């Protein structure tokens, strides 16, 4: 079976079967590969068994699969293996300068500049059509800016393609859920880890020891990620069968699987009820506390005010405010933009 990526026709590996083979059945012709099989231990084997079971679409007990998943600290460590950031927290991670995106004659984004600092949650807000998604798309390589620059971790992103930007450490979720519906939750997350794999096509074809090791690590980290976002019990459920809220969490887990330095969330709470929104706020803070930097587009002001460290406000493609949540909330231009006060009335 060929899986398609949400954005394009790139063929995906078939992960609907266990991602490795039992000892003695490997296609590797030499004993080396079998040697690797023999060091595969539970919990990985147990996860493989669960995945191999065609009836395994029900709730599983993650801690029965891997007792380490009961320890939140161990889970947090597995989710963010690089979280001891070499550069100090608070340094600039992403620099947007004079970013302009035009569609025909329409400027969806005009000369927008802001920074994202390491370890913060930055909110990007604004009324409908303000240019938030366009800004996201220009940062993540979906659109090529008409003018302006985006510098990430000290390097200009220029006209880099999306997958190269992902490899540099920017991951995102989309306004509309984009998952591989026929794949299980765990498989969706394991695909996210592909971005960090070093196995060559040759290595994958001939199933080298490194290939096995990477697949095994992907499954173990995948389970930790699902536990981290709160859906490990649904690991073996097809993504399409998950409740909507869990699908949103799965998207976040899959984005985290690429080990990003910056996680961009495009309206992650869209369609949530108030209690789901509160729970999501907790998750976003937990992600930040685990060492990630987060860029959050969100319509819900309460959520944005409650979770962000700083906020950038756009209106009609231009930045109208930038600051701490309280400053932004009290800014007359922001109030006018949201409440539709005539320009003349703005102090």
**What are the residues binding ligand ATP (CB under 6 A)?**
103, 106, 108, 126, 128-134
Nearer to ligand ATP, 126 or 268 (CB): 126
Give the SS3 label for residue 284. helix
Least separation in angstroms between residue 105's CB and ligand ATP is: 10
Least separation in angstroms between residue 126's CB and ligand ATP is: 5
Helix axes 209-229, 185-193, angle to 10 degrees: 120
Nearer to ligand ATP, 27 or 128 (CB): 128
Nearer to ligand ATP, 131 or 222 (CB): 131
Least separation in angstroms between residue 70's CB and ligand ATP is: 39
- Reported in sequence order, the residue ranges of the chain that DSSP labels E, i.e. its strands, are 3-4, 11-12, 92-103, 106-117, 121-125, 147-152, 155-156, 170-172, 262-266, 293-297, 310-315, 318-323
Q: From 225, 210, 290, select the one nearest 66 (Cα to Cα).
A: 225
Which H, E and C letters describe 205-241, residue by residue? HCCCHHHHHHHHHHHHHHHHHHHHHCCHHHCCCEHHH
Least separation in angstroms between residue 255's CB and ligand ATP is: 18
Nearer to ligand ATP, 134 or 293 (CB): 134
Nearer to ligand ATP, 3 or 132 (CB): 132
Please, which residues have CB within 8 angstroms of residue 165's CB and are 6 or more apart in sequence? 140, 141, 152, 157
Burial of 159 (0-12, 13-18, 19+ CB in 10 A): exposed
Least separation in angstroms between residue 328's CB and ligand ATP is: 16
Least separation in angstroms between residue 135's CB and ligand ATP is: 7
Nearer to ligand ATP, 107 or 190 (CB): 107
């Amino acid at each position: 079976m060929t899986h398609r990526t949400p954005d394009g026709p790139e063929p995906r590996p078939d992960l609907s079967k266990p991602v490795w083979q039992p000892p003695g059945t490997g296609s590797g012709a030499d004993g080396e590969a079998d040697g690797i099989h023999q060091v595969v231990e539970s919990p990985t084997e147990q996860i493989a068994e669960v995945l191999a079971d065609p009836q395994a679409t029900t709730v599983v007990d993650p801690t029965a699969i891997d007792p380490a998943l009961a320890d939140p600290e161990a889970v947090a460590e597995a989710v963010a293996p690089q979280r001891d950031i070499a550069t100090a927290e608070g340094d600039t991670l992403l620099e947007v300068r004079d970013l302009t995106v035009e569609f025909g004659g329409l400027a969806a984004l005009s000369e927008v500049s802001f920074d994202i600092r390491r370890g913060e949650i930055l909110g990007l807000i604004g009324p409908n059509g303000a240019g938030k998604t366009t800004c996201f798309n220009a940062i993540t390589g979906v659109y090529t800016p008409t003018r302006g620059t985006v510098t990430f971790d000290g390097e200009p992103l220029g006209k880099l393609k999306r997958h190269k930007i992902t490899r540099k450490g920017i991951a995102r979720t989309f306004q509309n859920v984009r998952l591989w519906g026929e794949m299980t939750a765990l498989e969706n997350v394991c695909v996210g880890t592909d971005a960090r794999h070093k196995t060559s096509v040759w290595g994958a074809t001939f199933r080298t020891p490194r290939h096995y090791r990477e697949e095994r690590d992907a499954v173990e980290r995948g389970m930790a990620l699902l536990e981290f976002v709160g859906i490990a019990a649904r690991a073996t459920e097809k993504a399409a069968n998950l409740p909507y809220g869990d699908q949103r969490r799965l998207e976040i887990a899959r984005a985290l699987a690429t080990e990003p330095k910056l996680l961009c969330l495009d309206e992650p709470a869209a369609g949530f009820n108030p209690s789901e929104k509160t729970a999501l706020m907790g998750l976003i803070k937990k992600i930040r506390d685990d060492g990630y930097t987060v860029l959050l587009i969100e319509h819900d002001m309460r959520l944005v005010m409650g979770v962000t460290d700083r906020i950038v406000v756009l209106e009609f493609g231009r930045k109208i405010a930038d600051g701490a949540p309280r400053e932004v909330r009290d800014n007359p231009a922001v109030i006018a933009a949201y409440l539709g006060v005539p320009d003349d009335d703005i102090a």
